[in-house]
Structure formats: structure tokens, C-alpha cells
Homo-oligomer: A and B are copies of this chain.
Amino acid sequence: MQELIIKTKKRQEVIDITNKVNDIVKKSKIKEGLCFLYIPHATAAITINENADPNLCLDFLDALNKLIPQGIWKHDKIDNNADAHIKSAIIGPSEVIPIKNSKLLLGTWQGLMICEFDGPRERRVIVEVK
């Protein structure tokens, strides 16, 4: 089991971790198998999205903010981040990606990303290659 540490810089951010995870896959020497990812945080998530146009990550955050605005929820009376929790629960903390030729078998336009919904914070990503 490996671990990545990612420092986020904004309240909301999508950060591409494809290269970092591919480095772990390469070092594992597993040519064909599965890569399991898990983010142990209740206001972050893991997603897979196009990484060629950076505007698409902004569109993704924009869409989620339109659907789940900040500051209108019961939990906001305790801690003003209910929107971040709800977004995390919808997007989800885990992903499983096949490995082929010692690399993540991602599509041409797919990038592996973490979603920060309540940063800036230091986030851990658990990576298991089997």
C-alpha cells in the first residue's frame, strides 16, 4: 500500500495525479492488474475527467456549485462546509482502474484527479496495486 500527499491551494480545485500514480504503478513492476485508489477525507473525492482543456475542470466545479450551493444547509450552522461533504458523497472517494503494460489503462482523454472541495488542505491518497 502506497500513499501520495497532495497539498491543495484553493477552497475548490481539481488536481491531476495521473503521472504520480503511474510512477507508483511502474515501480510496483506489475504489468497487468488493477490500481485501487482511495481518498480518506470527507470533503474531497476522486474523479476521472478530461485533462487536455483546463477549463473543463472549472466547468465541473461550476456545475457542482450550481447544483449544491454553499451556505444553505443544516450542517453549515456548525461548520460552513456542508456543500463540500455533499459533493464528496456524490463523486465518491474510490476508483478502480485496470493496469496494462505497467501503466494505468486510461482512455486518450482521461486523467485521474482528486477533487478538493474544502481546501486549502493537505490530502492523502491511498494507492494499492494488485
Contact = CB atoms under 8 A, between A and B. Distances in A.
Given A42-B107, A42-B109, A49 B98 contact: no
A121 B44 CA distance: 31
Contact of A47 (B40, B60, B92, B96): B92
A53 interface: yes
Contact of A40 (B41, B82, B106, B130): B106
Given A58-B74, A68-B63, A36 B92 contact: no
A48 B42 CA distance: 7
Main secondary structure of the interface of A (DSSP, over half): mixed
A75 B59 CA distance: 7
Interface residues of A, number: 52
Interface in A67-103: 67-68, 73-75, 78-79, 82, 85-86, 88-98, 100
Interchain residue pairs A-B with the least CB separation, the first 3: A40-B107, A55-B74, A42-B109
6 contacts: A53-B79, A56-B74, A56-B75, A60-B85, A96-B96, A105-B126
